[in-house]
Structure 1
Amino acid sequence: MLKKPLTAVAVLSLLTLTACGGGSGSGGAKGADGVAMGPGVTDDEISVTVISDFSGPIAQGGIAGSLGVEAKMDQINREGGICGRKVVVDKRDTKYDPQITTQQYRAAAPKNLMVAQFVGTAGLNAVRANIERDDMPTLSASLNTQTLALPNVYVAMPPFEVELINGLTWAAEKAGASAGKTVKVGFVTSADETGKIYLDALEHAAKATEGVEVVAKPTYTNADTDFTAQINSLKDAGAEIVMLGVTPAQTAGIVGQSAQFGYKPTFVSSSGAWSSSLGKPLEGLLDDFYVSGGYGTLNDDNPGIQALTKAREAYAPDAKPDNFEVGGWINGTVVAAALTKACEAKDLTRAGVKKAMVDLEVSFDGILPAINLGDGDSIVSHQSRINKIGKNGVQVPVGDFFESDAAKSWDESRGK
């Protein structure tokens, strides 16, 4: 019971809060069609936010990833929208800075039903309590198992750890590793908690793969621009295969400087370590560089990529192709499937979207194998594919999707 009279302003504020669905996102308002509406939902629109780096150190990937989401939503809107409503994308620039990320998330939260794409593990950790408090369904583009443990955060693609494990098993087989032949391998990861998890995954893969000897494990910090020490560590140890658990910034430095020092190992990276913008500056240095990617490339010929290409050409015809678009398209496809399912239940609140995500099955028309989101805490797939770098830095597949026993056994053992 209220213990003091409400002023007119207080009454108006209370009504506004109720109409917006409140802090929990459970909603109270209903649309003309009887659908319960949470924050960012009206009779005409569903607003979702993309929280990403648009002007900082990984802006190239952030812009391309957001473009994939935007192109998917534009396609949906041209086909009539979802639940009779247009889907609007509210873009928020974090500059890849956790403090700015916190500010942008707080500004976006009251105005949006869900986060269609969130880029940056450090940023996610900075607002994890907010995401939990706001009951905010969030699709992460930071594809690592750290994010799986965060409340209300979903990863709809194989994480980087799975890509790295599969990449190491493939590279070792390609090099002929066996009981009778030892292949020397080096790992490059970041000197933080994310890097430790990548290292754990790679060490597991090495132990599970006959003939692999780990000879060097140099780390880096985000402030590093000179990789002489790391390269000398790998070169002096005789690493024939170098696994890169890095971002595109480190890929450029490590591959470029290795060539200057006459060091030419086989490089294998996760999908997050390559951007097509590196194709030109590293031209001629990529003959033995491979990407283990958990989803397809813009060079694929399947219905999913055809639809993405057509949608991008309609939405942003002048945009330079980058494979991070594919990741954004995948997240956009999951958002569309979740909103459609929530609409069918007449519950476009955050709680309704989260309920729709449980055991949500999504097909991507060949871009990657179909997934089931399950409980949101599990790896959705252990499959990846090996790609080389083609024209304009765009990846070209050299094989089919596969999953290694090492990837599955690492998942089963993690956290134990």
Structure 2
Amino acid sequence: MNRNRLVRSAAAATVLLLAATACSTKADPSSDRVGKDGVAMGPGVTDSTITVGALTDLTGVYASLGKSIVNAQQLWAEQTNRIGGICGRKVEIKVKDHGYDVQKGVAAFAEVEPESAMLTQVIGSPIVAALKQDIAARRILTLPLGWSSSLLGQEYVQVVGPTYDIDMVNGVDFLTRKAGLASGDRIGHVYFEGEYGENALAGAQYAARQHGYEIVGQKIKATDTDLGAQVTALKQAGVKAILISAGPKQTASLVGLAAAQGLLVPVVSSAPGFAPQLLDSAAAPALEKLLYLTSGYPAASAGTTRMRLLVQDYQARYPDAPVDSGVISGWVAAQVAAESLSDACAAKKLTRDGISAAHRGQAALNILDVPFDFTDPAKPSTYASFVLRPSKEAVGGLAVVEPAHEVAASRSYPLPKS
């Protein structure tokens, strides 16, 4: 793949526009026009621009990841526009911060949707869940930066990567090998209430049943940051390993307190549960010793040609910003958007239905050396997870422990119906 192709198919439109006024008039996807170049144009598309929307978290529990996602997509937009944009049009993103609040997310959608060809990011499975009916009614292709399997089965919603429950199925497989678990053993699972945590718990419980393990669940809220009580409960239960499906602050608290209480067992989190800034905290030694992550994307330290180029370009553009998992996930979503828009342009249908149809025609899209299949909305685009671990020595604070692979239980797991 040449550099221009990489830039085009890696780029996610973000000229960061924080709109000051809300738009109450919804766009009509049926009001398509034909451009000067003969390309049919839907909402968000003119002869000179393609505008896409982003509903992000810049002030809530995932603010650090939200900033990285926006930065990565802005970098892509800038690079894309320098080589002529997509379909001869410059790409712009209309970004709105919802602070990981569902009501604010719904209001942000009402403002951004009428002027957008597609949505390159919506952070938060609960927010996407609240918007599913509106997304379907407006026929706007949406890339959630949330991986709940409850978002599957939607024609216009595309989860890019394994879902939280599949990640936990793969995580239990890793713990079986790492901790030498045997039938009858207990695994703790600390999880957020709501879409993220409860979807992850479903996958963990399924995988545990396959092996004869018992899951000891501990539900928490996003506002809970001191997990001392949960650690004490898990230690008393005699768990041999722990899963956590929460945010970075909760992960640091859990792992740090577990180490302090002598509960020296491996801990597995999904990628949203870690941020490299944690390696500057007092919990860093425990995190490097005990924590592992399952992720559909490779670490920034993976060392492949494509990843090295991304890291190089991102650090040049944002020299003081960490290269965390938000950079990778934002970049991946950007590439998916780029390919969908480019394929729609080739079909001369930059309408919402044309963009969605182009996207659903992608059976083997390779992004950062990970293959994705977007043809079936009811299935994850991949069942494979990398296993990563925190490392101060690694670019982005994560090193690869195991390359992406799937286990048999991930294919037999009965995905929840949306």
Check whether TM > 0.5.
yes
Preserved CA contact (<8 Å) 2:43 2:114: yes
- 2: CA distance, partners of 1:335 / 1:361: 15
**Counterparts in 2 of 1:34 and 1:118: CA distance versus 1, 3 Å:** same
CA distance in 2, matches of 1:58, 1:202: 23
TM-score by length of 2: 0.88
Q: How many residue pairs were aligned?
A: 390
* 1:115-130 alignment, distance < 5 Å: 115-130=119-134
Q: What is the percent sequence identity of the aligned residues?
A: 28
Q: Please state if 1:96 is matched with 2:97.
A: no
1:349-370 CA-to-partner distances (Å, cap 9, x unmatched) read 11111111113145445x3521
Which residue number corresponds to residue 395 of structure 1?
398
What is the correspondence of 1:262-411 to structure 2 with a 5 Å cutoff? 262-281=262-281, 282-286=283-287, 287-361=289-363, 363-364=365-366, 367-391=368-392, 394-411=397-414
Cα displacement (A) at 1:161? 1.5
Partner of 2:199: 197
Q: Which amino acid aligns with 1:270?
A: S
SS in 1 for 2:324: coil
- Structure 1 97/178 Cα, relative in aligned 2: closer, same or farther at 3 Å? closer
Whole-angstrom distance in 1 between the partners of 2:215 and 2:102 = 34
Is 1:41 equivalent to 2:45 in the alignment?
yes
Task: Give the AA of the match of 2:337.
Answer: V
Return 225-234 or 347-356, whichever deviates more: 225-234
State the Cα RMSD in Å.
2.1
Q: CA deviation at 1:375?
A: 2.8
Shift of 1:41: 1.1
Tell me the distance in 2 between the aligned counterparts of 1:24 and 1:315. Answer: 37
Q: Residue 69 in 1 paired to residue 73 in 2? A: yes
Once the two structures are superposed, what CA deviation does each residue of 1:281-329 show, in whole Å capped at 9, x if it has no partner? 1211121211111111110111221232233245434322212110111
Contact 1:48 1:116 (C-alpha < 8 Å) held by counterparts: yes
* Alpha-carbon offset, residue 253 of structure 1: 2.1
- TM-score relative to the length of structure 1: 0.88
- After superposition, residues 140-151 of structure 1 pair within 5 angstroms as 140-151=144-155
State the partner residue of 2:237: 237
Structure 1: how far apart are the matches of 2:203 and 2:301? Answer: 29
SS of the aligned residue for 1:321 comes to coil
CA distance in 2, matches of 1:385, 1:225: 27
Task: Tell me if the contact between 2:205 and 2:215 (Cα under 8 Å) persists in the aligned partners.
Answer: no
Task: Give the letter aligned to residue 389 of structure 1.
Answer: P
- Match of 1:100, SS state, is helix
Relative to structure 1, the CA distance from residue 30 to residue 22 in structure 2 (aligned partners, 3 Å threshold; closer, same or farther) is: farther
Larger radius of gyration: 1
2:284 is paired with a residue whose SS is: coil
Whole-Å separation in 2 of the counterparts to 1:38 and 1:78: 24
Cα pair 1:235 1:263 within 8 Å, conserved: yes
What residue identity is the alignment partner of 2:407? S
Alpha-carbon distance in structure 1 between the residues aligned to 2:232 and 2:330: 37
Q: 1:272 to 1:304 in 2, by over 3 A?
A: same
Q: Distance in 2 between matches of 1:25 and 1:100?
A: 24
SS at match of 1:388: strand
For 1:175, which of 148, 158, 179 is the aligned residue?
179
320-329 or 219-228, which deviates more: 219-228
1:257 corresponds to: 257
How much has 1:79 moved relative to structure 2? 2.4
2:136 is aligned with 1:132: yes
Deviation, structure 1 residue 193: 4.7
Aligned partners of 2:371, 2:63: CA distance in 1, in Å?
Answer: 29
Map Cα deviations across residues 331-381 of structure 1 (whole Å, 9 max, x no partner): 00000000011001111111111111113145445x352112013221111
Consecutive unaligned residues in structure 2, runs of 5 or more: 1-24
Structure 1 partner of 2:228: 228
Matched with 1:6 is none
Task: From the superposition, tell whether residues 151 and 361 of structure 1 become closer, same or farther in structure 2 (CA, over 3 Å).
Answer: closer
Confirm or deny: 8 A CA contact 1:304 1:364 kept in the other structure: no
Distance 1:250 1:188, change over 3 A: same
- SS of the aligned residue for 1:301 comes to coil
Cα distance in structure 2, aligned partners of 1:410 and 1:300: 29
The answer to whether the 8 A contact 1:330-1:364 is kept is no
- CA deviations over 1:254-300 (Å, ceiling 9, x no partner): 12332333322211111121111222112111212111111111101
Offset of residue 145 of structure 1: 0.4
